[in-house]
């Protein structure tokens, strides 16, 4: 009777990238080496990095993540489960628990409240204006990153991409 495949859950997901955790195989270098070899042969998988020490597998892929995960599960590598019975990745569950707010939105809110406190204390120019400027910068950076990450290709090779400005 074949052994039951270990449970795996998605820890992190971005377009073109996945990180899986397989706690039941922590420290099993042979299993992670075999899993990396098998995953690398799947259609659409471009790069695989497996670590027995952290019990994780990082995948770069060009096909939909669901297709890659289904193919891996179909090969008997693992059974995909939710980390704690919730839906989605850990980041998606955290965002849902926070009412849909991201960390940058929370930081902007804290900076805005601090600015209002400074206004109430009569310290408008340096402290309050500076805090509001920081809040606006955080939100603008977040908007820029979410816009560019939706369209940008994922490239984890150092030195690739456009050259630095001169």
Q: What is the pLDDT along the chain (166 residues), one digit of tens a residue?
A: 467 889 998 888 888 999 999 999 999 999 999 999 999 999 999 999 999 999 999 999 999 988 999 899 889 999 888 754 444 555 565 566 656 666 677 777 777 888 888 888 887 777 778 877 777 787 777 666 555 544 444 443 444 444 445 4
Q: What is the pLDDT of residue 48?
A: 95
Predicted pLDDT of residue 158 = 40
How high is the pLDDT of residue 149?
A: 46
For 3, 7, 96, the CA distances from 17, given in Å and listed in that order, are 29, 19, 21
What contacts 51, CB < 8 A, 6 or more positions away?
32, 57
Q: What is the pLDDT of residue 144?
A: 63
pLDDT at position 143: 62
Q: How many CB atoms lie within 10 A of CB 157?
A: 8
Q: Which helix (H) or strand (E) holds 49?
A: strand 45-51
pLDDT the model gives residue 146: 54
Pairing assessment for the beta strands 79-80 and 45-51 based on DSSP bridges = unpaired
How distant, in Å, are the alpha carbons of 103, 142, 161 from that of 94?
A: 10, 17, 32
pLDDT recorded at residue 13:
87
DSSP letter for 24, please: G
pLDDT at 108: 75
Contact call for residues 57 and 69 (beta carbons, < 8 A) = no
């Amino acid at each position: 009777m074949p052994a039951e495949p270990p449970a795996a859950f998605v820890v992190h997901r971005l377009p073109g990238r996945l990180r899986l955790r397989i706690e039941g195989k922590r420290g099993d270098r042979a299993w992670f080496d075999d899993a990396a070899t098998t995953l690398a042969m799947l259609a659409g998988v471009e790069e695989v990095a497996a670590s027995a020490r952290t019990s994780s597998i990082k995948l770069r892929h060009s096909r939909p993540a669901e297709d890659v995960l289904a193919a891996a599960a179909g090969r008997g590598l693992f059974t995909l489960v939710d980390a704690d019975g919730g839906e989605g990745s850990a980041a998606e569950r955290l965002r849902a628990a926070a009412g849909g707010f991201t960390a940058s939105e929370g930081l902007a809110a804290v900076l805005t409240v601090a600015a209002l406190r400074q206004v109430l204390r009569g310290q408008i120019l340096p402290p309050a204006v500076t805090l509001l400027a920081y809040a606006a910068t955080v939100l603008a950076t977040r908007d820029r990153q979410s816009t560019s990450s939706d369209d940008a290709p994922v490239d984890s090779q150092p030195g690739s991409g456009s050259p630095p400005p001169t």
